[in-house]
Amino acid sequence: MLIKKEYLSQPQTENCTQNIFVKFLEYQTLSVDTKSLLLISRLRATLEWTDPDLAWNTSVYQFNEVILPVSKIWSPELHVTNGITTEMSHSSPDLLANSKGTVIHSVIINAQVICEVNLFNYPFASDKCPVAIQGWSRMGCGTNLVFGELKTVIASSGEWETGNATLERKRSDRNFILVPLSIKSTQPFITLVLPSILIVIADAVSFALPLGGGERNGFKVTLVLSFTMFLIILNDELPGDGECSPIIRFHFCCCLVILVVSMLWSMVMTRLFAEGRFGLFRQSKGPVSGNAGGGNAKEDEEVKAEVGVDVLGGVKEDGQILKKVVNFLEAIDGKTRESDRNQRFASKLDHIFFWFYLNSGIATLPTSNSVMVALTFSVLHRMF
């Protein structure tokens, strides 16, 4: 008899509204897409409403409750109004109706919600995301949801954890679930922050390598290229910007700048160590006048030739030979002293820069990590 009535529309009342009692509502976070800032959630609701047209006389039909197919009578629809996709399904093809017209049914809602989580402190971020839920209504007509118990399924969703959600109300027809979310910071810290800190430490230790020979420069270039590839690989894994760009980007930028400055400094110091100047281009060797006090290439060649002639032919006297030899050795000794002076000067500058580099790294890296943990910004979530 009830099925043949085919009541497929909402029960009509004087005020054009129908109260739907959500006796039990269970919320569960399935996953959080950090890159796209999407919250994927699942809700299971037990609904109860009264349809007078489905009541019957127990003296005629001696049953207090019957099971009806959900496709043969009207049942309310729930929507997540701030979701980009919402799919409601019936948990069972049947529902329960009693003789007074009270109907009990359960539905399942899967929704994707744009959640503008504050990721400024990533990977130590935490925020709350609203999930708006309501029934159908148009111009004062429709369904009015009355909520009862809310249960949150506490579970980890990837790198995110869900806290105890609460029911909130913006106005009489605007209900939402406020979902606390927080990141499990251990894994992102180990895979993102720790490698960058270790690379900077390795770069600082590389100052122990000698300036001459090129080993230090090669090692520093390798570190810069490795860190650049590290950032390129992580580009798809880093969170989206949202309203506040994650400060971890600033951390990576500082690390990259530190590595590049250290590499360039090492190259300049290597040039100073070897040639005693900061020039960017190597000077070409050409003929030089022979009036320098310390001797030059032409004078050295003349000395060598004259010494050879003196030894073989005995043309010059011993005093002149000795004077030429002394001048030749003094010229070599002067170049050696100049080279030692340049190397000492380059080593001194390198030591000064090392301590500056070390103090800057000690000040910058812990500061950026402390800001990631302690400094917070509030994000105004879009309501519905």
| pLDDT value of position 173 | 67
Rounded to whole angstroms, what are the CA distances from 92 to 148, 216, 265? 21, 70, 71
| pLDDT value of position 111 | 92
Taking the model in full, what pTM does it have? 0.68
| pLDDT value of position 247 | 79
Mean pLDDT for the chain overall = 79
**Using one digit for the tens of pLDDT, what is the confidence trace for 222-272?**
999 999 988 888 877 776 665 667 778 888 888 899 899 999 988 888 888
Most confident residue range from 186-200, 271-285, 308-322: 186-200
Tokens of 153: 């399924």
**Using one digit for the tens of pLDDT, what is the confidence trace for 50-86?**
988 888 888 888 888 999 899 888 888 888 888 888 8
Which residues contact residue 2 at a Cβ distance below 8 angstroms, ignoring those fewer than 6 apart? 54, 56, 66, 68, 72, 73, 97
More confident residue, 37 or 294: 37
Per-residue pLDDT, averaged over 127-146, amounts to 83
Out of 8-22, 37-51, 123-137, 230-244, which region has the weakest mean confidence (pLDDT)?
230-244
| pLDDT value of position 213 | 73
Look at the alpha carbons of 290, 296, 301, 305 in this order and tell me if their dihedral is positive or negative. positive
Q: What percent of the chain has pLDDT over 90?
A: 14
More confident residue, 123 or 47: 47
Phi-psi map region of 36: left, alpha, beta (phi>0 left; psi -120 to 50 alpha): alpha
